[in-house]
Amino acid sequence: MDPPAAKRSRGSPAGPEERDAGAGAARGRGRPEALLDLSAKRVAESWAFEQVEERFSRVPEPVQKRIVFWSFPRSEREICMYSSLGYQPPEGEQDARVPFTRGLHLLQSGAVDRVLQVGFHLSGNVREPGAPGEPEHLYHVSISFDRCKITSVSCGCDNRDLFYCAHVVALSLYRIRHARQVELRLPISETLSQMNRDQLQKFVQYLISAHHTEVLPTAQRLADEILLLGSEINLVHGAPDPTAGAGIEDANCWHLDEEQIQEQVKQLLSNGGYYGASQQLRSMFSKVREMLRMRDSNGARMLILMTEQFLQDPRLALWRQQGAGMTDKCRQLWDELGALWVCVILSPHCKPEERAGWLQLLGTWDKLDVCPLEEGNYSFDGPSLQPTMAPSPGSEEQDEGEVAVTGSRHTVFGRALQAGDLHWEDPHLQRILAGDSYSPSLTGTVGGDKSAFDPQGRPLWLGEPFPTACARVDTLRAHGYPRQALRLAGAIINTLRLQRRHQLESYKQQKKELLQKGATCITNPEGWVGHPLDPIGCLCRALLEACRLEEETLSLYPDSGPEKRKVAYQHVPVPGSPGESYLALALEVALLGLGQQRALPEGLYAQDKVVRNEEQLLALLEEVDLDERLVQVLRKQAGLLLEGGPFSGFGEVLFRESVPMHTCARYLFTALLPHDPDLAYRLALRAMRLPVLETALPAGEPHPTPLDSIPSNRFPRWFILGHLETRQCELASAMLTAAKGDPKWLHVVLGSIQQNIHSPALLFKLAQDACKTATPAGAPPDSTLLGIALELGLQVMRMTLNTMTWRRREMVRWLVSCATEIGPQALMNIMQNWYSLFTPVEAATIVAVTGTTHATLMRLQLDTARREELWACARTLALQCAMKDPQNCALPALTLCEKNHAAFEAAYQIVLDAAAGGLGHAHLFTVARYMEHRGLPLRAYKLATLALAQLSIAFNQDSHPAVNDVLWACSLSHSLGRHELSAIVPLIIRSIHCAPMLSDILRRWTLSAPGLGPLGARRAAKPLGADRAPLCQLLDAAVAAYITTSHSRLTHISPRHYGDFIEFLGKARETFLLAPDGHLQFAQFLENLKQTYKGKKKLMLLVRERFG
């Protein structure tokens, strides 16, 4: 296509962009610009000076001066483009990091002086203040230019940056703003041609004298070559002049430091794990788009340099070798790179040889092993836009989970290579782009096919896939053709509308059959949201850009991050379509794409991209303030989505693996709710579905992992299932919050939640949110919403009853507090039905206890009768739990029943019955200690004897965990009196075989008289003797235990344990001596050891040394 005339931008970072230095003053006084200046401007823009000299045998000096004058760039915007990146630097670092801003400050502070323009060469000095305590710095700057482009720069500073330094910026801006003050000379060759031989010799000698240390060797070498007749220098006509401008064959482009760009990209990729690196690389991509929009050939040059460095990233080979995927940040950068190449290849004004060169490069890169592949299963040859032919929704269903995947290898450059086959010469396309009034009546005989227009006579764009058509729109925007982009976008939207109309008609014909089957195949071959070419995003951005309200001055930072102020939009009418605006079209297109029923693509990254793309589109829509006009668009599109059948994600029938609509529905619900609540709820309730779980989990089947989302290994394609379930929960929460105070909708929403949400963790979150919403501070609670919160909580309890995790305790406590908010009846209901909701431990230790705390009772404000009823319910619950799980619930039941004698007795009897049924000694000892603490020593004694009957402590278990319990039981029996002590001795002898423990018990019992009964009255006059009953039996058992233990230890003793054994014998002797004939018994025992183990000479020697 023929590119339209370039239009200058409206503004620049520092005032008017066009500063016509020569004519501004004259125009200011009302005089027209001189014809010489007008013609010199045009020549200076498009002709190389060599071409001017060749075309005309003699160019007058005034004409030469005006051409040279107008050959310097006139737009500050262009200087800014080459001296700033498109990212917002941290606050306070603008001067340090943005050369344009620093250069502007230098210019405004008067730092530029001695500016001289000689031909096409500009030079000057720039003074920059030094750091505190340092002198100022003086930099010599020189700039070469040609045809209003800077072609080379040189500066005395050592700054190596991607673009021009601040000193080059300062000198350039000085030349643009103060062009009249710059001393202007013709190219130096013109001046030299006016000198005679003597003047030339004097000129050369003075030049050498002024710079003899730098130029003398060069001057001598040139002189030698000139004096040599056959030298190469004498074979060339004329001599080079760096101030004479470019030659005819020289490329006309802005200076770009290729080496520095490559180095910068390489360094940023090596820091790829840092957020700032990704941001800077994205800003470089933005700079490429900026150059393309200015139709600057450096855009493609810079993109080539960046691509080469991307392909040389060493991580690519490493990831390929390891079989690992690249990081998300890196993958997003590659996606952007591929999309930029599509824009470059599709350029509507590039030369065929340029496109051929780019395609050759892409073909070479595409074949590299390290070149990343495109993620997802998107086709490269999708169906073309054909509004008169809708795919049949009743076609044969695909097997579950299967989506057509093309078998060939497609890299991120595949779509750019495919774009090489596209062109802009189609007559119908040319007419669409040429004007806003294209209609069938204007076609004549050429392109007069009626199918190229809709029934209203508006043009359609057919014959190529929708994403490809949208890529054309993005390309037109990228290359500075905004009007043409809007015209093509309008034709594409006309086509989509007609296609949707035919789809709806097709669906209505087969609706009955589809609803009976209850399932459908995917009728849209591929999703548009998340597609590599981002077709919906391209259309939306093109349409919204036309409606944006902006200040005249362009921002230096187009992407200023989170601090970017809110964008304002206005309705801009669509030419040729009365009543329509680009803003309404943007909203319609976004909803059409977001509401499309489509299969989830293959691969983790492709699925993440679907989610990210959805969020980006919705973020664009949320920037738009909805007026009445847009609300009507919303209502109409929502209705079409509900009626869309298998073509809509909100349709009545869904493909099992179609992308859920939760995120889109939440936006629509929030936007429609103030205007049409009925439609808002119908849409959101329809979107609550998650088909992949509905078909995988039949009604009544328990959730596989109750407190988490369903794991992806159950659904290997659905890597983002957890994220989707969370979005589903957020939609449900939004509906619950909005329905507060409306019992009808609350119960409808509850039914939808119970039917569609399968994750207990998310159900619990919903219950918590609902309870919080229902009980605002300082306002009465919403009883209906509270009841729904409780119902959801009960459902979670039932679903997770057989799965114990740390979250259950949190859930149980919350459920009790929620029931308390509702009232005592709700609390008693969960106590009475505890067996289907809680484990015995949860019911006894949390439900019963929390439900009867002082805080709960105060909150409920019950009278005495109702309070006693609640207590009775809690005691009944505790007793039931104790019977079901006495091991863990007996003590809590006893504690809870303390104030009710009958209940307490029942709990005690449960413990006694459980002891016979195998209740462990540890639990019996715990309850026994509790009984003693309660002042019931005889019951404590009874339980202690039952515990001892189950206990067995071996000879070598002197650190057994029950040691303290046994000593406590012995102390208790001793305090009760001789009778109880006599009864417990046989149990001690039978259960304990550890000699030190037996001797410890014996010694404790001999220290004081037994019988400090419960009333404190002593029942015995003096301590018991170890040689009399009942302690003599215990003494015999202790002596026997020492003898048995000694033989057992000596069987496998090692020399390093000899010392311990001698200490053990010392303790044994103390016990032996408690008997009347203890000396004799111990001597016999030692003699027996010496005889039996006489082979252990060293040990026996130690025995003799210690005991004789």
* Predicted confidence (pLDDT) at residue 813 exceeds the cutoff of 50: yes
Query: pLDDT (tens digit, 9 = 90+) per residue, 483-510?
Result: 999 999 999 999 999 989 988 888 888 8
Give the percent of the chain with pLDDT over 70: 86
Taking only the tens place, the pLDDT of each residue in 785-800 is 999 999 999 999 999 9
Tell me the average pLDDT across 614-620: 95
Calpha distance 653→153 (Å, rounded): 65
Q: Tokens 């770009």 identify what position?
A: 256
Question: Which strands sit side by side in the sheet containing 112-118, from one edge to the other?
Answer: 149-155, 137-146, 121-128, 112-118, 183-185
Element (H, E) at 218: helix 212-227
Q: Residue 161: which pLDDT band, with cuts at 50, 70 and 90?
A: low
**More confident call, 105 vs 47:** 105
Query: What would you measure as the largest C-alpha separation in the chain, in angstroms?
Result: 146
pLDDT value at 17 more than 50: no
Residue 843: is its pLDDT beyond 50?
yes
| 657 band by pLDDT with thresholds 50, 70 and 90 | confident
Q: Span 1020-1025, mean pLDDT?
A: 66
Residue recorded with tokens 């350039």: 172
- Rounded to an integer, the average pLDDT of 76-97 is 62
- Kindly report the three-state secondary structure assignment for every residue of 886-913: HHHHHHHHHHHCCCCHHHHHHHHHHHHH
Q: Is 83 left (phi over 0), alpha (psi -120 to 50) or beta?
A: alpha
Distance of alpha carbon 772 from alpha carbon 778, whole angstroms: 13
The CA distance from 421 to 361, in Å, is 15
For 519-532, the pLDDT digits (tens) are: 666 666 678 999 99
Q: In whole angstroms, how large is the CA radius of gyration of the chain?
A: 46
Q: What tens digit of pLDDT does each residue of 553-585 get?
A: 444 444 444 445 678 999 999 988 888 999 999
Tokens standing for 1005? 């019992």
Tens digit of pLDDT for each residue in 706-738?
Answer: 444 444 445 667 899 999 999 999 999 999 999
Range in 16-25, 187-196, 1043-1052 with the lowest mean pLDDT: 16-25
Sign of dihedral through CA atoms 1060, 1063, 1065, 1067? negative
Cα gap 902→277, rounded to integer Å: 75
Structure tokens at 216: 């003398």
**Residue 79 pLDDT more than 90?**
no
- Give the β-pairing of 568-569 and 112-118: unpaired
Amino acid residing at 1035: L
Structure-block tokens of residue 1029: 């009953």
What's the residue count for the chain?
1108
Q: Find how far residue 21's CA is from the centre of its chain.
A: 51
Instruction: Name every residue whose Cβ is closer than 8 Å to that of residue 78 and which is 6 or more positions away in sequence.
Output: 254, 294
Is pLDDT larger for residue 559 or for residue 292?
Answer: 292
What is the CB neighbour count within 10 angstroms for residue 184? 15
Compute the C-alpha angle 842/845/851, nearest 5°. 95
More confident site: 193 or 892? 892
Taking CA atoms, 1002 is separated from 808, 945, 995, 1007, 1031, in Å, by 48, 18, 11, 9, 7
* Owner of token pair 């009768």: 865
Cα–Cα distance between 73 and 44 in angstroms, integer? 10
227-to-207, 219, 886 alpha-carbon distances in Å: 20, 12, 118
The reply to whether omega before 1030 is within 30° of 0 (cis) is: yes
Most confident of 549-553, 650-654, 679-683: 679-683
Residue 1065 has a CB neighbour count (10 Å cut-off) of: 19
Q: Which of 178-182, 589-593, 753-757 has the lowest mean pLDDT?
A: 178-182
Partner residues linked to 15 by β-bridges:
12
Residue 240 CB partners (closer than 8 Å, separation 6+): none
Burial 503-519 (b: 16+ CB within 10 A, else e): bbebbeeebeebeeeee
For position 871, what pLDDT does the model report? Answer: 95
- 194 or 783, which is more confident: 783
Query: How do residues 820-830 score in pLDDT, each as one tens digit?
Result: 999 999 999 99
As a whole number, the mean pLDDT across the chain is 83
The more confidently predicted of residues 163 and 979 is 979
For residue 64, what are its two tokens?
């030469």
Is the Cβ–Cβ distance between 177 and 104 less than 8 Å? no
- pLDDT tens digit sequence for 134-146: 888 888 988 888 8
Average pLDDT over residues 253-278: 79
Stronger pLDDT, 319 or 909, i.e. the higher one: 909
Distance CA 1067, CA 994 (A): 13
pLDDT of residue 523: 63
In DSSP terms, which residues pair with 458 in a beta bridge? none
CA 371 – CA 388 distance, rounded (Å): 40
pLDDT of 259 higher than 80: yes
Give residue-wise pLDDT tens across range 416-441.
Answer: 999 999 999 999 999 999 988 887 76
63 vs 498 pLDDT, higher one: 498
List alpha helices for 595-661, DSSP H.
Answer: 604-622, 628-642
Inter-residue contact 170 to 181 (CB < 8 Å): no
Q: Letter for the amino acid at 489? A: A
Which of 153 and 775 is assigned the larger pLDDT? Answer: 775
Beta bridge partners of 953: 992
What's the pLDDT at 1052? 86
Instruction: List the structure tokens of 1075.
Output: 């008997």
pLDDT for 27:
44
What are the Cα distances from residue 659, in Å, to 32, 65, 522? 64, 67, 11
What letter represents residue 577's amino acid?
S
Segment among 183-197, 395-409, 1019-1033 with least mean pLDDT: 395-409
Distant-in-sequence, close-in-space partners of 1053: CB < 8 Å, separation ≥ 6: 1061, 1096, 1099
Q: Is the pLDDT of residue 983 over 50?
A: yes
- Among 948, 943, 899, smallest CA distance to 924 is for 943
Average pLDDT rounded to a whole number, residues 466-486: 94
CB of 514 closer than 8 Å to CB of 590: no
Which residues lie closer than 8 Å to 209 by C-beta, 6 or more apart? Answer: none
Sign of CA dihedral 308, 314, 319, 320: positive
CA distance 74 to 207: 33
How far is it, in rounded angstroms, from Cα 1008 to Cα 590? 92
pTM of the model: 0.80
Q: State how far the Cα of 758 lies from the Cα of 538, in Å rounded to an integer.
A: 36
647 DSSP assignment = G
